[in-house]
Homo-oligomer: A and B are copies of this chain.
Amino acid sequence: MFEVFQQYLQTKGAFTVQELDMIREQHFIKKLRRRQYLLQEGDVWKHYAFVSKGCLRIYYVDEKGVEHIMKFLTENWWAGDRESLLNSTPSEYYIDALEDAMLVMFTKENFERLCREIPTLNNMVNMLVHRSYVAANHRIHAAISFTTEEKYQHFIEKYPDLLGRVPLHMIASYIGVTPETLSRVRAASVKK
């Protein structure tokens, strides 16, 4: 399973064989069954976790008990709660597996030591956060100015593989509408 992660690394930077070995030495594998939690509200997240197989979601539950999905996490994405990791504060989020999944993981201490020892890795992480920030701004853009239909179209263009892989009511949650509304918008756009 580490091979998937190694391939990912090689697309992100010019790592030497020695560096890849150093990284391999620190990793461990976590298998998750469908519906199993990786993180629960109140936990402090202290890892770096790369999804090598499967699909997860990160979500929170509001005061009324409604779930709101922040993100779907599939192959070649990182899972976790950066805020909890950065500030060592209890997470507001849950992460669970929508399909059986396989993660390449590191403890915070080990991974951050590797970052200090391997500048290429450090640069990769900084670039990753940078790009995540840009992507988050695109999501804000969509949230404040798109119609529901546009949000849905945008979603399936951006994540075509997720349509069919995750239930529609979760896509509705991700774009911020009720399942009924998404169902009606889909029915209306088929007609056109």
Contact = CB atoms under 8 A, between A and B. Distances in A.
A136 B82 CA distance: 12
Interface string A133-164: 11011011101110000000000000000000
Given A129-B126, A129-B133, A133-B132, A176 B144 contact: yes
Interface in A89-138: 126, 129-134, 136-137
The binding surface of chain A is classed by DSSP as helix
- Contact size range, A: 20 to 34
A166 to B, nearest CB: 16
A133 B137 CA distance: 9
A170 to B, nearest CB: 12
Contacts of A129: 126, 129-130, 133
Interface string A47-80: 0000000000000101000101010000000000
Contacts of A82: 130, 133-134, 137
Nearest to A58: B137
A145 B66 CA distance: 9
Contact of A136 (B60, B126, B133): B133
B133 A68 contact: no
A137 B141 CA distance: 12
A141 B176 contact: no
A130 B86 contact: yes
Given A140-B70, A141-B70, A134 B60 contact: no
Interface of A: 60, 62, 66, 68, 70, 82-83, 86, 126, 129-134, 136-137, 139-141, 143-145, 173-176
